[in-house]
């Protein structure tokens, strides 16, 4: 019998419960490999970098507009004054908006992007147990899916 759990904590809890309740030939908990998890982390980091870059670009445009407004209203007069004002505000807003975007993305604790460890597989091999009852018990322990395979479990003798 093979059951999928959402994370290693739930899988380990189910394994420990079954070890106390069921006499089995083996109970194995398989977690995703580092290669599988690092792919997800790379996608998340790529998305974060892209969002920060876009926010910085928007910040640059906003800063240039703000600098132009200050240059033509407050000063200093002259071409050099206008350029210094526009470039200074563009750089300032580029850094400010980019850092805010990065901070907000990395400080987000809602778990939408990084969910911790991925799904884990719990395999139970036993000859003398009711497969349907074991499947029901695994679902009560939080299994997302349970698959009964030939030779993994069989109905208890009646």
Residue 112 lies in a domain: no
Q: Domain tally for the chain?
A: 2
Judged against a pLDDT cut of 70, whether residue 155 lies above it is answered with: no
In a shared domain, residues 139 and 126: yes
In a shared domain, residues 43 and 26: no
Residue 156 lies in a domain: no
The domain in which residue 57 lies consists of: 35-107
In a shared domain, residues 27 and 49: no
Comparing 89 with 134, which gets the higher pLDDT? 89
Residue 12 pLDDT: 81
Judged against a pLDDT cut of 50, whether residue 157 lies above it is answered with: no
Q: pLDDT digit string (tens) for 87-126?
A: 999 999 999 999 999 998 888 766 554 444 567 787 777 7
In a shared domain, residues 102 and 43: yes
In a shared domain, residues 41 and 6: no
Residue 152 lies in a domain: no
Residue 65 pLDDT: 96
In a shared domain, residues 124 and 60: no
Residue 128 lies in a domain: yes
Judged against a pLDDT cut of 70, whether residue 5 lies above it is answered with: yes
Residue 89 pLDDT: 96
Q: pLDDT digit string (tens) for 25-67?
A: 677 777 765 545 556 677 778 888 999 999 999 999 999 999 9
In a shared domain, residues 27 and 42: no
Residue 67 pLDDT: 94
DSSP letter for each residue of the chain? -EEEESSHHHHHHHHHHHHHH---SEEEEEPPPHHHHHHHHHHHHHHHHHHHHHHHHHHHHHHHHHHHHHHHHT---SHHHHHHHHHHHHHHHHHHHHHHHHHHHHH--S-SS--SS--EEEEEE-SSS-HHHHHHHHHHTT-SEEE--TTT--PPP-
Residue 90 pLDDT: 97
Residue 62 lies in a domain: yes
User: With a threshold of 0.75, does the pTM exceed it?
Assistant: no
Residue 154 lies in a domain: no
In a shared domain, residues 92 and 132: no
In a shared domain, residues 23 and 54: no
Residue 56 pLDDT: 96
């Amino acid at each position: 019998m093979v059951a999928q759990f959402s994370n290693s904590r739930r899988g380990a809890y189910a394994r420990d419960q079954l070890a106390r309740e069921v006499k089995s030939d083996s109970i194995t908990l398989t977690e995703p490999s580092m290669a599988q998890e690092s792919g997800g982390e790379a996608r998340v980091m790529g998305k974060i970098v892209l969002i920060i870059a876009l926010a910085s670009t928007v910040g640059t445009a906003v800063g240039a507009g703000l600098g132009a407004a200050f240059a033509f209203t407050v000063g200093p007069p002259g071409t050099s004054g206008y350029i210094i004002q526009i470039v200074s505000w563009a750089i300032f807003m580029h850094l400010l908006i980019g850092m805010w975007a990065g901070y907000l993305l990395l400080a987000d604790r809602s778990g939408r992007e990084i969910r911790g460890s991925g799904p884990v597989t719990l395999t139970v091999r036993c000859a003398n147990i009711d497969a349907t009852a074991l499947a029901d018990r695994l679902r009560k322990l939080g299994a997302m899916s349970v698959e009964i395979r030939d030779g993994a479990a069989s109905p208890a003798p009646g």
